[in-house]
Amino acid sequence: MARTTYRHLVAIALTIGIQTVLGALPGSWMAAALAQNFPTDPITGAPQGLSNNGPGMTVGGPTGQGPFIPSNYGPTGPTFPTSASRPPSWPGGRDDPNAPYPPARPGLPPRPGAPQGPLGMAPAGVNPGAPPVAPPIKRKKSPAEPPWDPAEIVAYVGNECIQANELLPFINQRIAMFLSKPPEGFANLTPAEKEEQVNMGRKALMKQQIEEAVKIKLLLGEVRRKIPADAWNKHEEQVRKFFNSNEIKPLMAQYKATSTIDLDKKLREAGSSLESVRTSFGERQMALSWMSQQVKEEAQEVTHAQMLTYYKEHQAEWETPARARWEQLTVKLQNFDSKAAAHDAIARWGNEVFRGAPFADVARAHSQDPGAGDGGAHDWVGKGSLRSTVLDEALFTLPVGTLSQIIEDDDCYYIIRVVERTDAKRAPFNEVQPEIKKILQNTDKDQHRNAYIAKLREQVPVLTIFDEDFVARTSLPADTKLR
């Protein structure tokens, strides 16, 4: 098996092309939880949630820092010693004239502002020669709860382990993206509520990234068991050469790096490194190449009946709701002494448009709508999406190009003119048939891949921080095997 399998592996990964192999694999089985609308991965061209830079790793720009984005890419710092001694002449020693208490030698005053006990002695319970004491560590209720130490082990796959620092750059990058454009209402939350919401997202991302990393580890373990060590080393060398020849230049262009040294520096600022990206790229290519060899990749023969059934069961996916775009004049009742005064004002503005004044000019001059600066223009909206039901109804009943009567709402008066409108429609079956066929074929491939991963998972023990017995099982003696 060794030579034949290895030649097959190299032929798929390199002769056909590593990128082609990866491109043929839809990412649903290891897609990121937030992969939609993400930047393109510079290595694979896939969304960065499917990056080839290793489990959970991306090579996007440096992670933005904020109140919820810890700089936790490096190793844990050393802890303070539990006991210490110092030479008397060192700062804080008994011969230090600036020691806070007691005075080092008679006649020398203590340092200004230093805490003093009776007769210049240290306050009760304070050791004058002791080093600073680190604040107590706040214990987490569960290993699955953030924050995670970068050196913390978050999963075991057989004899392999996955550390948090392999996944945190991706997670922090996604959290930074969320905080750059938070959802409506997020700013109104208290700091504690904001932290809770962010931690919920961080936890969900960690869980998803662990699952992706576990799949890669399972595949790599299978490759190591099935091919000879010399074949592994040779293939690894070829993949590294491919990376050096084809991937470093695009990375340098993306990071605007002037050299590989500069690129490595900028990757480290993003929580990664050039060697880490290179190694992770090779491991992932090896894993996915093996997957393509082991799992049936031929396109499924999809029948006309299957496609038609799918179309009927997912009709909503092919429907386009009615939508409209329009111009609007607005009067807010709160800006007038009475409803009558507000009504008179918008009536005057409507008459100006009726007599031939450009709608946009009247809106810019008078309208109290946020879109007044754009001439009262409002872009496409779907039916039923507006807060004002009376305005929504007018948009989809008023003839296109006709100036409306005055429309009264709870707190505003409106005059609108529909510029363009499209009716609701459903794409016909023959138009979406190729798309349905591709969906059904990819679904079949995903099922085969998932079944293969499930088979590997039955053979190899997997333990993650999201397992209830993680603490108990990882607290066993070192010579105890996980089962």
Per-residue pLDDT band at 201 (split at 50, 70, 90): very high
On the question of pLDDT at 95 being above 70, the answer is: no
Give the model's pLDDT for residue 345. 92
Give the model's pLDDT for residue 352. 92
Q: Where are the beta strands (DSSP E) in 387-475?
A: 407-408, 412-422, 425-426, 462-464
Give the model's pLDDT for residue 203. 93
Buried b (16+ CB within 10 A) or exposed e, 214-240: bbbbbbbbbbeebbeeebbeebeebbe
Query: Per-residue pLDDT tens for 234-255?
Result: 888 888 889 888 988 988 998 8
Give the model's pLDDT for residue 346. 92
Overall average pLDDT of the 313-322 stretch? 85
On the question of pLDDT at 79 being above 90, the answer is: no
The full set of domain ranges for the chain reads: 2-73+140-298+464-474, 322-423
Give the model's pLDDT for residue 38. 39
Give the model's pLDDT for residue 293. 80
**For residues 410 and 350, is the Cβ–Cβ distance under 8 A?**
no
Residue 302 or 347, more confident? 347
Per-residue pLDDT band at 165 (split at 50, 70, 90): confident
Give the model's pLDDT for residue 128. 53
- CA pair distance 69, 169, nearest whole angstrom: 10
DSSP symbol at 431: H
Give the model's pLDDT for residue 138. 58
Instruction: Extract the tokens encoding 168.
Output: 């945190």
Q: Which residues contact 165 (CB under 8 A, 6 or more apart)?
A: 72, 73, 150, 151, 271
Q: Chain-centre distance of CA 458, in angstroms?
A: 30
**For residues 399 and 418, is the Cβ–Cβ distance under 8 A?**
yes
- CA pair distance 51, 364, nearest whole angstrom: 47
Q: What is the mean pLDDT of the chain?
A: 74
Strand pairing category for 425-426 and 412-422: unpaired
Question: What is the Cβ-side half-sphere exposure of residue 216, based on CA atoms within 13 angstroms?
Answer: 29
Q: Which CATH class is domain 322-423?
A: alpha beta
Helix axes 429-459, 304-313, angle to 10 degrees: 90
Query: Per-residue pLDDT tens for 417-463?
Result: 999 998 888 888 888 888 888 888 888 888 888 888 889 888 999 99
Query: Per-residue pLDDT tens for 465-475?
Result: 999 888 888 87
Nearest to 9, CA basis, from 292, 216, 245, 244: 292
Query: Per-residue pLDDT tens for 104-148?
Result: 444 445 444 444 444 444 445 555 555 555 555 556 678 889 988
Give SS3 for 403: strand
Per-residue pLDDT band at 229 (split at 50, 70, 90): confident
Q: Pick the range with the lowest mean pLDDT from 69-73, 187-191, 208-212, 331-335.
A: 69-73
Give the model's pLDDT for residue 471. 85
Position 361, amino acid: D
Give SS3 for 438: helix
- CA pair distance 20, 208, nearest whole angstrom: 25
Give the model's pLDDT for residue 91. 55
On the question of pLDDT at 4 being above 70, the answer is: no
On the question of pLDDT at 331 being above 90, the answer is: yes
